[in-house]
A and B are shown apart, each in its own frame.
Chain A
């Protein structure tokens, strides 16, 4: 299909418009060199997935930048320890690049474990540590034996690929922690469900702005025990005992599907894909869990009551906002396509039509699904860049952008409202109350009087 704007030669199959029939968008390929992709790297993927584990030591084995740029990168809250908020790096210098960094890694790990007494340690490989051939596995095994805690090498050298390759490396590290014989630590949630026979793990929820706590409170109200959250407000002890849950409930499928599948194969724990963005998706998530535990009718009854109550309260808040936003057009560009799907629906709920939607790392199924839920003509893009995004925004006349830090200035320079749906958010956007917050955020940006001065 011809586009009304120029595209780089190598990018033409990754930009399409939704229409009847299959979308056939190309995806899951390396970024075109020089395209100014918004993607990060494999290292980043491993780092963001494991980052919220609050009682672990996170040591980046590489030059200083890799650690500096991932220090406090997510607003992942902890109810207890905050070791994850510190940034540790072996800070490799020329000497180590020439002679190897294993000695420095050993010494850094040993002294940091001595000082901070973590429940486990994650050691992240980087481009440099991979290229110089450091045997980080051997160092980790040695320190683990000496210190008596799990010390895990996370192999996601930046050049290995996109965040997705890093997610997989993170999942492998998590999987190696799970021990079917491990006892659950004392329950941190609502004591009323501590002995509940219906128990789940929440996967792919990172407790940004306390979102995991909101989700957990829903399940607990349903009478379901939340055995472990991976990895929001995460604790090594709970991750180790994750095999004790009856069901894995997976959000952010891009990051955690691998772990869910592996846990099904290895421990026989089934899983369900869900999303907590938007009223409909949140309700569906709770009902999916209630269905799974249908032998306990009480769970389903409580889920219905919760959804009815919360959805009605949220609806009442959303109605006046919808009246104000009706007819606006949105552009969405986020990391994972699964979230993009929820956002299209959530925006529709407040009267906003999506005219552009894309992601850094979506797969074929994600994009086909997106194509079916979007209005015909909606642009769907994979691994896009500032030039494409600004051209499509102009072409479609979008007036609101939903994205992350790197998309924000594109939106602002072009005179669009913007809602940050990324790692750094301070306001919970998940669950019923999150949907209300999301609507308020969109409203605050779309209706601001400053655009009268900035556009034009």
Chain B
């Protein structure tokens, strides 16, 4: 974090935690890749490695989304671990295709495959002759979790998806991207590539609604808003969920004028927007998550610019209601200290929200990958008389919150101890409204509970 004044407990934490991570806050890269691949219509994931990775990731994600998430494994045994997993990968691919008839297959490497030198390039090479006419679109991402966490795996997979859908062969040389002509009067903007962070289905639905309000077509890379938050299957005999971004829409992105990337800064190498910009001259626009009034203003301002349309009245009204709710609750939240953890995309968004309503942010030690560090940061703050008032983050912070005696406002991934994690909204004026009310109420609920008066008005 930016804060240079580390307390005693945090320093102790850094020293003693150097070797071991306790109660991990970070997850693994193939998990992020699996969630990215799950947002492509008719998509299946193959994890190139041993069976356990696929099963663990499915179990972890299913406990959050409460939806089926089929991900296959190339099923390395000892032999493959020694002699290579190429044959296993071919067999896995054939079996996935014959069982599921997928339109898209995303392949992510695991630690095991990468440790023996099998990466995205070797996966592509192993399957090169299979990418024939009529088969599914195949994308491969290198995602060893000893190199990156779930966010990096997610970003790498989204880049792999657009690389596969818009191959460089269709591109002009990267050194001289085609300059895009200015929009003629009345000419449609066309689809816009949108690279969201690892967001909830509810937030992705909100994003699409915002684009639609300007008449803009957002092609999300990718879109789990239906695939991981859908209805009953009612005996349709389906094997894969409805929804997701279609392969044809993805292929069309080589002609997109704009690529909008949301969240904290993304390295070029892991950025789908950077790829489109380099290969096709697409304008890359990086914005923070539209969380809070000002961040949402920025996105809507941009959408207004791209569409040439003013911000619709309905969205202005949502903004006014949100600002009004800030006014109503401003004293309840002023100066309240929020301990924020999770991936940088969400952390930055939450920090911006806290800043604009007068809350203060305590963050875990930078590079901290475990809840032990988060607890240490909280204990330090408390010792200095500036203890946190609440935690904001995924449900894995529950143990820390309980230990610290603080409320936890659940956002992000995973939410394993409540229903509806997939429907938690944080984005746009509406999502922010929902989140802000929960934060303000967590603060006053704590005051109410801690008092024996039994206050009935707040």
Question: Which A residues lie at the B interface, using CB under 8 A?
Answer: 8, 10, 30-44, 59, 62-65, 67-71, 85-94, 96-97, 104-105, 107-108, 111-112, 115, 126-128, 130-132, 158-162, 386-387, 390, 394, 405-406, 408-410, 412-415, 454-456
Q: Are A44 and B52 in contact (CB under 8 A)?
A: yes
Tell me which residues from 50 to 72 in chain B have a Cβ below 8 Å from any Cβ of chain A: 50-60, 62-63, 66-72
Using Cβ atoms and an 8 Å threshold, which residues of chain B touch A62? Answer: 111
Using Cβ atoms and an 8 Å threshold, which residues of chain B touch A390? Answer: 239
A-B contact pairs, 28 of them (CB 8 A): A34-B92, A34-B99, A36-B96, A63-B111, A64-B28, A65-B53, A65-B145, A71-B24, A89-B20, A93-B147, A97-B144, A97-B146, A126-B111, A127-B76, A127-B81, A127-B111, A128-B115, A131-B116, A390-B239, A394-B237, A405-B59, A406-B62, A409-B66, A409-B69, A410-B68, A455-B232, A455-B235, A456-B234
Q: Are B31 and A37 in contact (CB under 8 A)?
A: no
Question: Which B residues lie at the A interface, using CB under 8 A?
Answer: 16, 18-24, 26-28, 30-31, 46, 49-60, 62-63, 66-78, 80-81, 88-89, 91-96, 98-100, 110-112, 115-116, 144-147, 149, 232-235, 237, 239, 369, 396, 399
B228 vs chain A, min Cβ distance (A): 10
Given A65-B27, A65-B111, A159-B112, list of 6 further CB < 8 A pairs?
A: A35-B99, A37-B55, A94-B144, A127-B115, A130-B81, A455-B235
Q: Are A32 and B27 in contact (CB under 8 A)?
A: no
> Which residue of chain B has its CB nearest to the CB of A10?
B95
Using Cβ atoms and an 8 Å threshold, which residues of chain A touch B235? Answer: 394, 414-415, 455-456
Q: Are B234 and A33 in contact (CB under 8 A)?
A: no
Q: Are A34 and B46 in contact (CB under 8 A)?
A: yes
Using Cβ atoms and an 8 Å threshold, which residues of chain B touch A406? Answer: 55, 58-59, 62
Per a CB cutoff under 8 Å, which of A32, A39, A64, A160 touches B78?
A160
A131 vs chain B, min Cβ distance (A): 5
B106 vs chain A, min Cβ distance (A): 13
Per a CB cutoff under 8 Å, which of A35, A44, A86 touches B95?
A35
Q: Are A64 and B55 in contact (CB under 8 A)?
A: no
Inter-chain CA distance A289–B80, complex, in Å, is: 45
Inter-chain CA distance A127–B53, complex, in Å, is: 10
Q: Are B20 and A409 in contact (CB under 8 A)?
A: no
Per a CB cutoff under 8 Å, which of A88, A107, A162, A455 touches B18?
A107
Inter-chain CA distance A71–B22, complex, in Å, is: 10
> Which residue of chain A has its CB nearest to the CB of B28?
A65
Q: Are B53 and A97 in contact (CB under 8 A)?
A: no
Q: Are A93 and B146 in contact (CB under 8 A)?
A: yes
Q: Are B28 and A40 in contact (CB under 8 A)?
A: no
Using Cβ atoms and an 8 Å threshold, which residues of chain B touch A71? Answer: 23-24, 396
Inter-chain CA distance A313–B49, complex, in Å, is: 50
Question: If A65-B30, A456-B234 touch, does A90 touch B19 (CB 8 Å cutoff)?
Answer: yes
Q: Are B112 and A127 in contact (CB under 8 A)?
A: yes
Question: If A34-B74, A65-B53 touch, does A86 touch B22 (CB 8 Å cutoff)?
Answer: yes
Question: If A37-B51, A67-B24, A108-B20 touch, does A408 touch B70 (CB 8 Å cutoff)?
Answer: no
Per a CB cutoff under 8 Å, which of B24, B77, B98 touches A68?
B24
Q: Are A127 and B49 in contact (CB under 8 A)?
A: yes
Question: If A8-B98, A92-B146 touch, does A34 touch B91 (CB 8 Å cutoff)?
Answer: yes
Q: Are B68 and A158 in contact (CB under 8 A)?
A: no
Q: Are B145 and A387 in contact (CB under 8 A)?
A: no
Inter-chain CA distance A59–B22, complex, in Å, is: 10
Using Cβ atoms and an 8 Å threshold, which residues of chain A touch B26? Answer: 64, 68
Using Cβ atoms and an 8 Å threshold, which residues of chain A touch B94? Answer: 34
Shortest beta-carbon contacts, A-B, top 7: A41-B52, A65-B28, A34-B92, A34-B95, A108-B19, A108-B20, A107-B19
A185 vs chain B, min Cβ distance (A): 28
